[in-house]
């Protein structure tokens, strides 16, 4: 089961699923959650956390979190998207902020930034290895 189907399935049975940092928090009536549910949540943890963060407008993954940390921005410093009311999550070179959910070209730029961050990390790791 994919992460989104899993969340839909749990929601349909009245299970509240929220992200708490890197953990998934569950709130359900006794006997509702099965071992299969827990196994599926464990298997899909990354995808589920990503969806939950998307839903609450938080940075969706480690790259985005690192980008925020790198620029020393608090989420409260980020402009709110006028269309959806969530945090803007993409900054362009002209220092303008965009919402990747509403601005499809922002989404593209966001993905480009994430790829750039991943490449930068690969290069850093490479240097660490060759220097060590």
Q: List contacts with Zn ion (CB under 5 A).
A: 81, 83-84, 99, 101-102
| Nearer to Zn ion among residue 23 and residue 83 (C-beta) | 83
Least Å distance between CB 100 and Zn ion? 8
Longest dimension (CA), the chain: 55
| Nearer to Zn ion among residue 10 and residue 51 (C-beta) | 51
Using CA atoms, how far apart are residues 46 and 30, in angstroms rounded to an integer? Answer: 25
At residue 37, what are phi and psi to the nearest 5 degrees?
-60, -50
Least Å distance between CB 80 and Zn ion? 9
Contact criterion met (CB below 8 Å) for 84 and 102: yes
Contact criterion met (CB below 8 Å) for 50 and 60: yes
| Nearer to Zn ion among residue 44 and residue 88 (C-beta) | 88
Least Å distance between CB 79 and Zn ion? 10
The residue assigned the tokens 């995808």 is 47
| Nearer to Zn ion among residue 61 and residue 103 (C-beta) | 103
At residue 52, what are phi and psi to the nearest 5 degrees?
-65, -40
Least Å distance between CB 24 and Zn ion? 25
């Amino acid at each position: 089961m994919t992460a989104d189907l899993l969340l839909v399935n749990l929601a349909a049975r009245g299970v509240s699923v929220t992200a708490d940092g890197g953990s998934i928090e569950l709130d359900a009536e006794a006997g509702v959650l099965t071992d299969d549910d827990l196994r599926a949540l464990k298997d899909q943890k990354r995808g589920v956390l990503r969806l939950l963060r998307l839903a609450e407008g938080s940075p969706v993954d480690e790259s985005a979190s690192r980008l925020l940390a790198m620029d020393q921005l608090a989420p409260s410093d980020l402009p709110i998207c006028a269309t959806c009311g969530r945090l803007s999550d993409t900054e362009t070179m002209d220092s303008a902020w965009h919402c990747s959910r509403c601005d499809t070209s922002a989404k593209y730029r966001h993905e480009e930034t994430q790829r750039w961050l991943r490449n930068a990390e690969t290069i850093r790791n490479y240097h660490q290895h060759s220097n060590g």
